[in-house]
Structure 1
Amino acid sequence: MQAPRPRRMSILGLLPNMLTVGALCAGVTAIRFAIEGRFAAALILIFLAAIMDGLDGRLARLLRSESQIGAELDSLCDFVNFGVAPGLIVWLWALQDMRAAGWIAVLIYVVSCLLRLARFNIGHRAIDSTAEKTGFQGVPSPAGALLCFLPMFAAFATGAEPLHGGLVAIWMALVGAMMIGRFQTPSFKKLTFEAQYVRYVVVAFAALLAALLAYPWATLVAMDLIYLCIIAVSLVRRAPKSQKDPKDGA
């Protein structure tokens, strides 16, 4: 009996997994740069990892090369890039003097990211078919990492000294809580608009890129604040309206 021929894959089919591995390399290298005190370079690498994380899944669907191993690689890399790496970077930047309290905040953030990714994987496998169809439940891990870095972005934008470690630790724990929250957050990949507005979207995207190149830290602060405002508006809109009491008398 003739042995089955080995399955062949094209280089294009491997591109999504290559992007995922590239994102992991960026995240691990960011940790190295943070240890060396090169925090600006570390933040740039995490931002680059977030961009590659947003592209790998879309590229896999475009090339029809989705696979279970690709999904597992993506989840594991997300935990390193947006859980472990941000926790260690912020720890090295502002929390070392706090010792136990600062490390507790790091652990809260990292474990929250782990739980967030585990819940997303369960929903993605259709065990919870209603989860994450029109948006996300809680803050997704890449956005959580960028929110976690908000104190660093603000310090670099203003040239100020790092904030008090206690405030940074509280903020990190709060971001962790937002990642595991059950409230709905918007998914920008599901955002649609009329074709007549495409030119404005393209111009806005070009303006965003220009702002990131010219004023990277101030732009990242603005992006974080806008995202927080969007979450707040989403929470207000989804909050159940209190029933009015019936009027007394006639």
Structure 2
Amino acid sequence: MTQPPAPKPIQRKPRSEYALIQLLPNMLTVAAICAGLTAIRFGVQGNYLNAVQLILLSCVLDGIDGRLARILRADSAMGAELDSLADFLNFGVAPPLLIYYWALQDAPRLGWLSVLVFAVCCVVRLARFNVSTHAGDPKDVAAYFTGVPSPAGAMLVMLPMYLSFAFDDAQLLPDLVLCLYMAGIGLLLISRIPTWSFKTTKVSRENVKYFLVAFAFVAAALMNYAWLTLIALCLGYVATVVWALVTQPRKG
């Protein structure tokens, strides 16, 4: 009597392992998400100063995690999706909610409408960027973005708060003006206006020393005159957008 054939052993796929340092970019992204959520909590509690600082911290982390992933060759599809979700939370949800709690609760309907407009514009901006990136659109590696990037939009939309923190006696903008300002920044996110991409900017060897001196100056100004420096940086960025609008053709 023939014996039935022995069952074949189950082939197990080799377990993938990651070095801890390769997880560092995703850890920074998770830290940015925690910063954004905590900023919302501080906004609800009325601790606006710390809330703004946490959103600014999330901007810094956003600028680091992607580049670090490429340096470590640890970029992945999951990391890209996690980064996009973090961007929406930190730049599309936390800043407008913070402004709403800070100044627009006296106009809840109009204020909430402006929050929704900004948030929807931000998520559309991120979706458009993700689609063009997956499609390998060469325009995304050019010297100019299409529309204002979401981190820059978050920085700009909080400009009235910087002014209030820098000048203790500064009067808040009227609710209507603040709502229109927030919605206007949101529309800039989904506009076709070309905006300067710092990712592709290169510095010649001869000018590196001047760039480092300028960076040290800005860093020292941020540590000593944080809000005034942020105001200046926002106005400088607006100037680059206006310059690009004048000198560069709009992207279709």
Q: TM-score, normalised by structure 1?
A: 0.93
Counterpart position of 1:18? 27
Q: Quick one: distance in 2 between partners of 1:112 and 1:103?
A: 14
1:155-194 pair list within 5 angstroms: 155-159=164-168, 160-194=170-204
1:23-34 pair list within 5 angstroms: 23-34=32-43
Counterpart position of 2:64? 55
Counterpart position of 2:3? none
Counterpart position of 2:154? 145
CA contact (8 A) 2:32 2:90 kept: yes
Deviations 1:32-70 (A, max 9, x none): 111111111111100000000000000000000110000
Residues 132 and 97 of structure 1, relative CA distance in 2, 3 Å threshold: farther
- Displacement of 1:132: 5.1
1:170-249 pair list within 5 angstroms: 170-239=180-249
**1:124 and 2:133 equivalent?**
yes
- Displacement of 1:130: 3.2
* Cα-Cα RMSD: 1.3
Q: Which amino acid aligns with 2:122?
A: C
Residues 128 and 191 of structure 1, relative CA distance in 2, 3 Å threshold: closer
Deviations 1:76-116 (A, max 9, x none): 01000001101110000111111111111111000000100
SS at match of 2:106: helix
Unpaired segments ≥5 residues, structure 1? 241-250
CA contact (8 A) 1:139 1:180 kept: yes
Counterpart position of 2:51? 42
Instruction: Specify the structure having the higher radius of gyration (Cα).
Output: 2
- Displacement of 1:131: 4.1
CA contact (8 A) 2:142 2:200 kept: no
**Percent identical:** 47
SS at match of 1:130: helix
Residues 221 and 64 of structure 1, relative CA distance in 2, 3 Å threshold: same
Counterpart position of 1:248? none
Q: Quick one: distance in 2 between partners of 1:126 and 1:135?
A: 18
- Displacement of 1:199: 1.1
1:102-121 pair list within 5 angstroms: 102-121=111-130
Between 155-164 and 98-107, the greater mean CA deviation after superposition = 155-164
Q: Quick one: distance in 2 between partners of 1:62 and 1:129?
A: 21
SS at match of 1:96: coil
Q: Quick one: distance in 2 between partners of 1:134 and 1:233?
A: 14
CA contact (8 A) 2:153 2:185 kept: yes
SS at match of 2:172: coil
Q: Which amino acid aligns with 2:198?
A: F
Q: Quick one: distance in 1 between partners of 2:128 and 2:29?
A: 20
CA contact (8 A) 1:13 1:65 kept: yes
Unpaired segments ≥5 residues, structure 2? 1-8
Between 126-135 and 80-89, the greater mean CA deviation after superposition = 126-135
Q: Which runs of 4 or more aligned residues in structure 1 lie more than 3 Å from their structure 2 counterparts after TM superposition?
A: 127-132
CA contact (8 A) 2:143 2:201 kept: no
CA contact (8 A) 1:155 1:163 kept: no
CA contact (8 A) 1:135 1:186 kept: yes
- Displacement of 1:4: 2.4
Q: Quick one: distance in 1 between partners of 2:204 and 2:197?
A: 18
**1:5 and 2:14 equivalent?**
yes
